[in-house]
Amino acid sequence: MGNELEEAVVVAEEEEERDDVVVGAVDYRGGCAIRSKSGSWRSAWFIIGVEVAERIAYYGIQGNMISYLTGPLHQSTAAAAENVNVWSGTASLLPLAGAFLADSRLGRYRTILLASLVYILGLGLLTLSALLPSLSNSECQVDNELKSCSPRWQIILFFISLYLIAIGQGGHKPCVQAFGADQFDEQHPKEHKDRSTFFNWWYFTMCAGCLATLSILNYIQDNLSWVLGFGIPCAVMIVALIVFLLGTMTYRFTIQQRDKRPFRRIGRVFVAAIRNRRTTHSTTAIKAERDGMLPHQSSEQFEFLNKALLELKDEDSIEEESCSPSEVEEAKAVLRLVPIWSTTLIYAVVFAQVPTFFTKQGVTLERTLLPGFDIPPASLQTLTTAAIVLFSPIYDRLFVPAARAITGKPSGITMLQRIGTGIFLSVITVVFAALVETKRLKTAQESGVVDEPNATVPMSIWWLIPQYMFFGISEVFTMVGLQEFFYDQVPNELRSMGLALYLSIFGVGSFISGFLISVIEKVTGKDGEDSWFANNLNKAHLNYFYWLLAALSVMGLALFTCFAKSYIYNNKGIRRQ
């Protein structure tokens, strides 16, 4: 009896030990990752802290960039908006390269370290460009327009540093969040649930941390010193790198499969399907269904990829290994993302207006809060952040349980329903922005300041609050939904790339915004007429642009809804709306 008890104890201890080992992950020494000593929230908080610091640095530059370009650099409103859009777009597309490097070569941890160093270099050079002979003392007037008379090399240094920051963000942004989510074992019930919560609290904490800091940074940049305003983000990024290194001993590192790299594996499916394109569809479908290789719905979607399941033959009729069902499913999962990706681009176009035209609207309005203290226009962007901070707990604690009671789904609503709700709220945002801008123009006309570009329109800046707040609430739905969707719906080894795809939506959206602005500027400003984006905003028509965005958003939402209804979730084999 005693021996049996001892054996039972030993078996229980072995089972407990096995349960404490995280499958598919190692610790910083390369040994087995122990659940009780690594990962989960203990690691996630280090990584969340790094993201908060990085976002402070990024938005500390991006949030007020249009003021720097139209102020010390003396660019026109349209040119400045285009430059901000191009830079933001580049910064959001470069994560595709960073994710590829991380997923196929360096791994997420090393990519984050390398990207952080480039980031700090860019911020340091940006601070140096503002420290050199002051750009703000270089005003001159040519043909009734302000031109930058600063040394050409100084402006070149400014843009070089700006794009070094974009490169640093390209490696940092997709890897940090994916690395954070990697700290939760999806095979463990509690950690799997925690990982879903991680995305909500990631965005909440990031925005909460940025809220007060960005207000201070914008005030420093507008009223004290651009050198200090750029230097603080540089110092913050240095602290972020130190914090990240401090957490190293707690991190879990995902084991990468080296036999078939994910990009090669997925690409092989498309090559095989093309090589077998002459095979009749009926033969492929019958073979797939007969062998039970693919779920019924999946076998009917993107049917041409099913041909990759057949044996490959080269020109000498030598048989090669056929693609496996799991490889075909991975390729289909990636292909299913394309319609969702493309139909959310209009949301990104609206997103691009917050740090540009929303800010320029605020410059013209009455901004006095206290005698001698004017609200920096870019600080209103913190209202969007405040809305996120206030609404995120409401969403997590009230909305989700209420929706769960109705739908029976653990998350209340599906990821695609969450994204679509945010797109709908963005439509309300631009409609309200158009109405407020129409009122601003009418007030300027009634006050007789239409011909005075630097005059303050007698209308409170608080009129802009609703458009900032509505967009903040829309971000809680769409931004977090997109992050979770593109992390969850790609193959496990490509999760950095999944988050890079999410970021690329906003990169391409910024480019589309810049293209729209450029075309509209040329079309509406020909023959000497004032364009929709005239430097004198009292003669411009931003309201027309907002109405155009509202119409495009409605069309985008309609297309998104159609694709969302037919979307088959990866590894589910069922259709969920």
The pLDDT, as a whole number, for residue 316 is: 47
User: Whole-prediction pTM value?
Assistant: 0.72
Beta bridge partners of 575: 568
The pLDDT, as a whole number, for residue 151 is: 55
- What does DSSP say about strands 365-366 and 457-460: parallel, antiparallel, or unpaired? parallel
Would you state the structure tokens that stand for residue 22, as one six-digit string? 């995280």
Using left for φ > 0, alpha for ψ between -120 and 50, and beta otherwise, residue 374 falls in: beta
How far does the chain reach from its first CA to its final CA, in angstroms?
57
The pLDDT, as a whole number, for residue 137 is: 47
The pLDDT, as a whole number, for residue 418 is: 92
Taking the CB of residue 156, how many other CB atoms lie within 10 A of it? 11
Q: Which amino acid is at 249?
A: M
* Cα-based distances in Å from 379 to 249, 392, 437, 466, 538: 38, 21, 19, 15, 22
Question: Which DSSP state fits 457?
Answer: E
Q: Which domains does the chain have, with CATH numbers?
A: 20-133+149-258 (1.20.1250.20), 260-322 (no CATH), 332-571 (1.20.1250.20)
Beta bridge partners of 26: 32, 253
Distance CA 577, CA 568 (A): 9
Judge whether 391 and 473 are in contact, CB under 8 Å: yes
pLDDT tens, the chain, 577 aa long: 555 545 543 443 444 455 677 777 777 777 787 877 777 788 888 888 888 888 888 888 877 777 787 777 777 777 777 787 788 778 878 888 888 888 777 888 888 899 999 999 999 988 888 787 654 444 444 444 444 445 567 777 888 888 899 899 888 888 888 888 888 877 777 777 677 678 777 777 777 777 767 677 877 877 788 888 888 889 989 988 998 898 888 888 877 655 456 667 777 888 888 887 776 655 555 455 445 555 555 556 677 777 777 765 554 444 556 777 777 877 888 888 899 999 999 999 998 888 778 877 887 888 777 776 777 776 777 788 888 888 888 887 888 888 888 887 777 788 899 999 999 999 999 999 999 999 998 998 888 888 887 788 888 888 888 889 999 999 989 988 898 898 888 877 777 778 788 888 987 888 898 889 888 888 887 776 778 888 788 888 889 999 999 999 999 999 999 999 988 887 543 334 4
